[in-house]
Amino acid sequence: MEDIIGILKKHDLLKVIEEKVDIDIEMGHIAFLEVKKPDSKALLFLNPVSKRLNKEFNIPVLMNIFGSSKALNLIFGKDVSDISKDIEELMRLRVQAGFKGKAELFNRLLSLKNIPPKNIKGKGLCQEFVKQGDKVNLFNIPILTTWPEDGGAFITMGQVYTQSLDGNMRNLGMYRLQVYDKNHLGVHWQIHKDGMHFFNEYKKEGKKMPISVAIGGDPLYIWCAQAPMPYGFFELLLYGFIRNKKAKLIKSITNPIHIPDDVDFVLEGWIDPQNLALEGPFGDHTGYYTPKELYPVMEVSCITSKLEPVYHATVVGKPPIEDKYMGQATATIFLPFLKTTTPELTDYNMPENGVFHNLILAKMKTRYVGHAKQFMHAFWGVGQMSFVKHAVFVGDDAPDLKDYEAISRFILNRTSKDNVIISEGICDALDHASPNACYGGKLGIDCTGSEIEGESREIINDAELLDKMSLLCREIKDVRQFMTDTKTPVTFVALKKERLVREVFRLLRPVKRYTKLLVFVDAESDDIDNLYMLIWKVTNNIDAKRDIFLEDEFFGIDATVKGKSDGYEREWPRVVNCDKNVLENLRKRRLVEFDEDFLKKFWI
């Protein structure tokens, strides 16, 4: 961690804040605004305080270290695309003819000796200070409360180390942890996570589960913690591959879990499978608060640390946030792994305003009719890709998937009712739009073919279209048209909803001569001029089976807030947003800079 701070400082990617800043809300707000700047920097808070706890801390807090592409490459020590190439070469290893070919293979295999982590004996750097028993106190660590409606303080950059019941498998995961009191944490691991699989083994046998949470150290640990590795693979194998050196692991003092020697803090403990507690709410990376739910409780038996530790944290919420850059690295590095299941895949992109699992754009070489549809089902059946809600497939002739203007036109010129698939399957536990938790609708669009044929729409201006639509439905307050020169003109409709949106869509059939795709949003809360945030809203708020209407070549999408009148029985979550008074106070103290345009751009 000290090395990374020095590297970021050397490259002018670190902002040091000496003023006292509260760990409750203030730090989170500063980091939330900072990561949205084009010249985003890491933040090192030297004097954290807590008015709530009436405490001052001598432990610095580091945030936003993954806050730019440049910082990301510095942390990895190389360009992430080079890592992807190394993985692809490794997967293609073959014994070549002749002495030179065999020698090259031997040297490549020899380099792999540094991949497996190494257990070391003795006292670790992370164990210079040891607190056990009554001396354990989580409130002595500057753990942040990041959002006004959070259920409490949460560890947000914790490396959670667990092992299977027989000890043969180890796992590193990134799960949020809520502070209940001085020695108990709520562990938010979802049903599809390896930690939860291990937990079920211990629960079945009625045994307590060992767990250690590391904070700090090499930031690459935390990236590996969120990497979508196959079940049974220890994530620190990936660390060894990227760093070309073994991760050195030391045994925890009060349980059998091994953790990296150079982390800043370690929270050791045990989970009683019978002891569950309400965890949340928490303002998550979807930009919504996740509700209170029952999760396992970790009893902290020991806290160890370096002599001069740094506390590492992040803030999540509406995009763009730090995981924008972490997710881009993941997409690049794991492309070779995806190709093993879908070899014709040439590229893919998960836009950050689609919240990654909500939207994927994939480019492929099509070999036969229906190939893209086959790909859709393959994607929905592979590891963490199975949680993707909306997938759009294009051919190898499509523009760069990160050129959103060009790829949008390409897709809209190839979208028809015949190439849309609506299916269903498992969803991420954080998805709130599906009627049932963890299960809902899926959308796939096959845009690998040629441009669709048919008559172009008769395009009129927004004011004229609003007049015509208002005569058909008085609930429509405004409209805005986009991509009107494509075969699928898009119209966002600001609606003050008084009935089912499906009924409104049917009333608007006469306007199909002017537009093809109607996207309904809430008039009171949504800015229909802001496409970036509208994509965030739409991909979050729809369930494909319930909210997409296909009628000949006239389509509708209901991205409004749902309630019981829509047949939605779950609790619709609140949007995560900043506290205005806190923001204004931070501005007066010159800890943040912003104007109304900046706030409007990101719906703050």
**3 state DSSP class of 323:** helix
Listed residue (567, 565, 546) closest to 557, CA to CA: 546
CA-CA distance, 229 to 238, in Å (whole number)? 9
**3 state DSSP class of 136:** coil
Listed residue (237, 235, 164) closest to 204, CA to CA: 164
Q: Is the peptide bond prior to 281 cis by the omega test (within 30 degrees of 0)?
A: yes
Q: In what order do the strands lie in the sheet with 61-63?
A: 14-17, 42-45, 61-63, 311-313
Paired tokens of 478: 């405004």
HEC secondary structure over 428-440: CCCCCCCCECCEE
Residue 529 known to be catalytic = no
CA-CA distance, 488 to 416, in Å (whole number)? 8
Out of 284, 323, 431, 478, which one is annotated catalytic? 284
CA-CA distance, 147 to 183, in Å (whole number)? 22
β-bridge partners, 440: 425
Give whole-number Cα distances, 186 to 181, 276, 295, 543, in Å: 10, 8, 6, 29
Q: Identify the sign of the CA torsion 588, 593, 595, 596.
A: negative
Pairing of strands 61-63, 48-50: unpaired
**3 state DSSP class of 478:** strand
Q: Is the peptide bond prior to 320 cis by the omega test (within 30 degrees of 0)?
A: yes
**Looking at the annotation, which residues are catalytic?**
284
